[in-house]
Amino acid sequence: MNINLTLIGQAISFAIFVWFCMKFVWPPVIAALEERSKKIADGLEAANRASRDLELAQEQATKTLRESKEQAAEIIEQANKRANQIIDEAKEQAITDGKRLRDSAQSEIEQDVVRAKEALRSQVSALALIGAEKILGASVDQKAHSEIVEQLAKEL
């Protein structure tokens, strides 16, 4: 086995190959590998974050739903209460109105009664006078007897 110039030739070509590999082969490939692993890590992290966000959103949604349900129930309750109140008020109003109407009607009736009695009384006195005139056959001095007649009418 001879050691000769081939040794140096090999060393030189080896050096050139290593240099070429170092300059043009290794960096792009390793950069791509690193970028891919970074991408994958980012993707996983994003997925994690998304699922966490989803969980939060779901929680928020249930909370909102529960709150709105409570609110709706409250509103319905209030409305019911208000309706009852309005009905009560209306009833009360109706009762008072009716009472007032009845009272005024009654007083009117009473006034009418009084007025009728008055009219009747005056007419009765006149009738009594006419009757007495007829009975007596003579004219009675209205002026002289009006006092009596009046007293009569009052007694009626």
Which residue ranges make up the site for other proteins (CB under 8 A)? Answer: 1-11, 13-15, 17-18, 20-22, 24-26, 28-33, 35-36, 39
DSSP letter at 4 equals -
C-beta closer to other proteins: residue 4 or 139: 4
CA distance 53 to 81: 41
CA distance 60 to 78: 27
- Least distance to other proteins, CB of residue 21, Å: 4
C-beta closer to other proteins: residue 35 or 118: 35
- Least distance to other proteins, CB of residue 51, Å: 23
C-beta closer to other proteins: residue 34 or 89: 34
C-beta closer to other proteins: residue 30 or 44: 30
Query: Is 109 within 8 Å of 136 (Cβ atoms)?
Result: no
- Least distance to other proteins, CB of residue 46, Å: 16
Query: Is 122 within 8 Å of 147 (Cβ atoms)?
Result: no
- Least distance to other proteins, CB of residue 44, Å: 16
Site of tokens 């009975």: 135
Residue type, 18: V
CA dihedral 50, 54, 56, 61 (to 10 degrees): 150
